[in-house]
Amino acid sequence: MNQLDTNELSVMLMPKSPSTGPMSVQPIEHAPTQQMAMAPTVGEQRRTPLPKKEQARAHAINAAISRILRRNSLRAQRQMQKR
Protein backbone atom coordinates (compact mmCIF):
# COMPACT_ATOMS: atom_id res chain seq x y z
CA MET A 1 0.00 0.00 0.00
CA ASN A 2 2.83 2.49 0.84
CA GLN A 3 5.06 1.37 -2.01
CA LEU A 4 5.73 3.92 -4.75
CA ASP A 5 5.48 3.14 -8.40
CA THR A 6 8.80 3.49 -10.24
CA ASN A 7 7.32 6.14 -12.54
CA GLU A 8 6.40 8.38 -9.61
CA LEU A 9 9.88 8.12 -8.13
CA SER A 10 11.62 8.93 -11.40
CA VAL A 11 9.60 12.14 -11.75
CA MET A 12 10.78 13.33 -8.36
CA LEU A 13 14.43 12.61 -9.10
CA MET A 14 14.63 14.61 -12.35
CA PRO A 15 17.67 16.89 -12.21
CA LYS A 16 17.04 20.60 -12.03
CA SER A 17 18.37 22.94 -14.68
CA PRO A 18 21.85 24.34 -13.94
CA SER A 19 21.65 27.69 -12.24
CA THR A 20 23.86 30.55 -11.19
CA GLY A 21 23.96 32.52 -7.99
CA PRO A 22 24.33 31.57 -4.36
CA MET A 23 20.65 30.81 -3.87
CA SER A 24 20.31 28.70 -7.04
CA VAL A 25 17.45 30.86 -8.18
CA GLN A 26 18.71 32.48 -11.34
CA PRO A 27 18.94 30.18 -14.38
CA ILE A 28 22.00 30.43 -16.61
CA GLU A 29 19.88 31.85 -19.44
CA HIS A 30 19.40 34.95 -17.27
CA ALA A 31 23.06 35.39 -16.37
CA PRO A 32 24.43 38.93 -16.67
CA THR A 33 26.11 39.80 -19.93
CA GLN A 34 29.76 40.73 -20.00
CA GLN A 35 30.48 44.35 -20.79
CA MET A 36 32.64 45.20 -23.74
CA ALA A 37 35.89 47.06 -23.14
CA MET A 38 35.72 50.74 -24.03
CA ALA A 39 37.65 51.51 -27.18
CA PRO A 40 39.11 55.01 -27.58
CA THR A 41 37.24 57.25 -29.98
CA VAL A 42 38.91 58.47 -33.14
CA GLY A 43 38.75 62.23 -32.56
CA GLU A 44 39.60 62.23 -28.86
CA GLN A 45 42.80 64.00 -27.87
CA ARG A 46 44.65 63.50 -24.62
CA ARG A 47 45.04 66.46 -22.30
CA THR A 48 48.55 67.23 -21.23
CA PRO A 49 48.96 67.04 -17.45
CA LEU A 50 49.34 70.27 -15.53
CA PRO A 51 52.77 71.18 -14.18
CA LYS A 52 53.38 70.31 -10.52
CA LYS A 53 53.02 73.91 -9.37
CA GLU A 54 49.61 74.31 -11.03
CA GLN A 55 48.47 70.93 -9.70
CA ALA A 56 49.34 72.01 -6.16
CA ARG A 57 47.49 75.30 -6.65
CA ALA A 58 44.39 73.55 -8.04
CA HIS A 59 44.45 71.11 -5.12
CA ALA A 60 44.76 73.95 -2.60
CA ILE A 61 41.83 75.79 -4.20
CA ASN A 62 39.66 72.65 -4.11
CA ALA A 63 40.58 72.05 -0.46
CA ALA A 64 39.74 75.66 0.49
CA ILE A 65 36.38 75.49 -1.30
CA SER A 66 35.61 72.20 0.45
CA ARG A 67 36.39 73.71 3.86
CA ILE A 68 34.15 76.71 3.16
CA LEU A 69 31.27 74.51 1.97
CA ARG A 70 31.58 72.25 5.02
CA ARG A 71 31.69 75.22 7.37
CA ASN A 72 28.55 76.70 5.79
CA SER A 73 26.79 73.34 5.90
CA LEU A 74 27.57 72.89 9.60
CA ARG A 75 26.41 76.45 10.29
CA ALA A 76 23.10 75.73 8.53
CA GLN A 77 22.67 72.50 10.49
CA ARG A 78 23.18 74.34 13.79
CA GLN A 79 20.62 76.95 12.76
CA MET A 80 18.08 74.23 11.93
CA GLN A 81 18.62 72.57 15.33
CA LYS A 82 17.97 75.85 17.15
CA ARG A 83 14.51 76.14 15.58
Structural domains in the chain (count) = 1
pLDDT in tens, 13-32: 555 655 555 555 666 666 66
Residue 67 lies in a domain: yes
Residue 77 lies in a domain: yes
17, 27 in Cβ contact below 8 A? yes
pLDDT in tens, 31-79: 666 656 677 666 667 778 778 888 899 999 999 999 999 999 999 999 9
**pLDDT value for 78:** 96
Residue 63 lies in a domain: yes
Residue 35 lies in a domain: no
What is the extent of the structural domain holding 80?
51-83
The phi, psi pair for 35, rounded to 5°, reads -85, 145
End-to-end C-alpha distance for the chain, whole angstroms: 79
Residue 66 lies in a domain: yes
